[in-house]
């Protein structure tokens, strides 16, 4: 019997008991009036019947009350079980989300290492061939220096340091803090800065190393939120470049010199063969991008598909790539609690 049936039966029993008890009382009262001229024995018998009906009414009421309490206890127990099941479901959903996120990161890293291994093997093979040719030209001055494994990969044991040193490449990851924070807010994203770093570094898989800079404005008297954010970024090994904020006559604020600082730094450090990953949606960076491409620097722009300047979003150039911020959302936001129906 379910909870609703138990409750309905208890209420019905209580109603029947009350109605039957009232009828018996009326009958008893009528009998006592009719027997007003009868003997004392008849009055005693009527009183006994009255007491019997009254006890039956009390018993029925007590029984009904007990059934109602039992029904309410059963309802409370099932509600408690449902609440426990809901909590377990929420915890399991959170664990599943964490596992999915971890798996994506692991797979991304594995793919990156595989590509790096292939590039390294090809580079070593090419270096081995170059050194072998050099050895053939000057056999007396340079001893054998290359041995090839069964797998076909070349292992170089050089006795001439830096003879064919490979030029390493660097990925310069730059975040236009004000523009990025504005776009994230417009998209309703709660950024996890650790996850964002992992996602951006994964985009630099073709480079040998990387540096990560965050350019943002800071008030002359920083707020508590600003101080905590900048400390959190530094703890995650972001290089934070703080710039002054000016108050405009219309009440809004503006960071001074952030675009200029980004442009000067990139032109100073980005060399031919390097890569720039610029997180922004500001079309003012197009002249800088063209200069970098002329220098044989590859450029990737990460910006919101909805809010990036249309000239920047549609820019076409050899070595240039636009990546929609929306495509990285599942990798860079905090995990949300799932909704339970």
pLDDT for the residue numbered 146: 43
In this predicted structure, the answer to whether residue 340 has a pLDDT above a threshold of 60 is: no
Beta partners for 300? 277, 321
CB 325 within 8 A of CB 187: yes
Distance CA 288, CA 259 (A): 10
In the chain, the number of structural domains is 2
Start-to-end CA span in the chain (Å): 26
Considering the domain architecture, whether residues 312 and 214 belong to the same structural domain is answered as yes
Task: Give the contacts of 38 (CB within 8 A, at least 6 positions apart).
Answer: none
Considering the domain architecture, whether residues 79 and 186 belong to the same structural domain is answered as no
Considering the domain architecture, whether residues 206 and 341 belong to the same structural domain is answered as yes
Last residue of a domain, one of 89, 111, 145: 89
pLDDT in tens, 179-213: 999 999 999 999 999 999 999 999 998 899 999 99
Considering the domain architecture, whether residues 175 and 85 belong to the same structural domain is answered as no
Higher pLDDT pick, 165 / 145: 165
Domain assignment present for 100: no
pLDDT for the residue numbered 158: 43
CB 158 within 8 A of CB 131: yes
- Return the minimum-mean-pLDDT range out of 152-156, 196-200, 274-278: 152-156
In this predicted structure, the answer to whether residue 176 has a pLDDT above a threshold of 50 is: yes
Domain assignment present for 158: no
Last residue of a domain, one of 89, 122, 147: 89
pTM of the model: 0.52
Last residue of a domain, one of 89, 117, 141: 89
Burial of 329 (0-12, 13-18, 19+ CB in 10 A): middle
Range of the domain at 45: 3-89
Distance CA 265, CA 244 (A): 17
pLDDT for the residue numbered 55: 81
pLDDT for the residue numbered 326: 93
Domain assignment present for 29: yes
Question: Residue for token digits 């692991």?
Answer: 106
Task: Give residue 29's pLDDT band: very low, low, confident or very high (50, 70, 90).
Answer: low
pLDDT in tens, 3-18: 445 444 554 544 444 4
Considering the domain architecture, whether residues 63 and 206 belong to the same structural domain is answered as no
Domain assignment present for 217: yes
As given in the structure block, the two tokens for residue 74 are 């059963």
Mean pLDDT of the chain: 77
In this predicted structure, the answer to whether residue 115 has a pLDDT above a threshold of 70 is: no
Considering the domain architecture, whether residues 177 and 84 belong to the same structural domain is answered as no
Question: Residue for token digits 């664990």?
Answer: 95
């Amino acid at each position: 019997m379910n909870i609703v049936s138990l409750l309905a039966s208890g209420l019905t029993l209580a109603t029947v008991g009350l109605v039957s008890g009232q009828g018996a009382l009326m009958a008893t009262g009528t009998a006592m009036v009719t027997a007003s001229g009868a003997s004392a024995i008849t009055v005693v018998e009527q009183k006994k019947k009255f007491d019997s009906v009254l006890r039956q009414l009390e018993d029925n009421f007590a029984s009904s009350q007990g059934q109602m309490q039992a029904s309410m206890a059963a309802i409370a127990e099932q509600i408690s079980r449902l609440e426990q099941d809901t909590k377990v479901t929420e915890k399991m959903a959170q664990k599943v989300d964490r596992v999915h996120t971890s798996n994506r990161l692991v797979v991304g890293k594995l793919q990156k290492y595989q590509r790096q291994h292939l590039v390294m093997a090809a580079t070593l093979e090419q270096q081995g061939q170059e050194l072998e040719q050099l050895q053939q030209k000057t056999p007396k001055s340079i001893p054998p220096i290359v041995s090839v494994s069964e797998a076909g990969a070349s292992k170089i044991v050089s006795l001439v340091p830096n003879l064919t040193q490979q030029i390493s490449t660097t990925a310069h990851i730059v975040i236009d803090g004000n523009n990025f924070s504005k776009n994230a807010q417009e998209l309703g994203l709660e950024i996890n800065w650790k996850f964002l770093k992992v996602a951006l570094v994964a985009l630099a898989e073709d480079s040998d190393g990387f540096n990560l800079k965050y350019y943002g404005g800071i008030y002359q008297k920083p707020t508590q939120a600003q101080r905590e954010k900048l400390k959190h970024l530094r703890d995650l090994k972001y290089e934070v470049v703080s710039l002054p904020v000016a108050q405009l006559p219309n009440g809004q604020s503006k960071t001074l010199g952030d675009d200029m600082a980004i442009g000067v730094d990139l032109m100073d450090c980005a060399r031919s063969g390097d890569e720039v990953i610029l997180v922004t949606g500001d079309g003012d960076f197009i002249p800088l991008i063209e200069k970098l491409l002329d220098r044989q620097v590859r450029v990737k722009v990460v910006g919101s598909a909805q809010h990036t300047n249309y000239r920047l979003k549609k820019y076409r150039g050899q070595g240039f790539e636009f990546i929609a911020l929306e495509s990285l959302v599942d990798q860079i936001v905090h995990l949300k609690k799932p909704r339970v129906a």
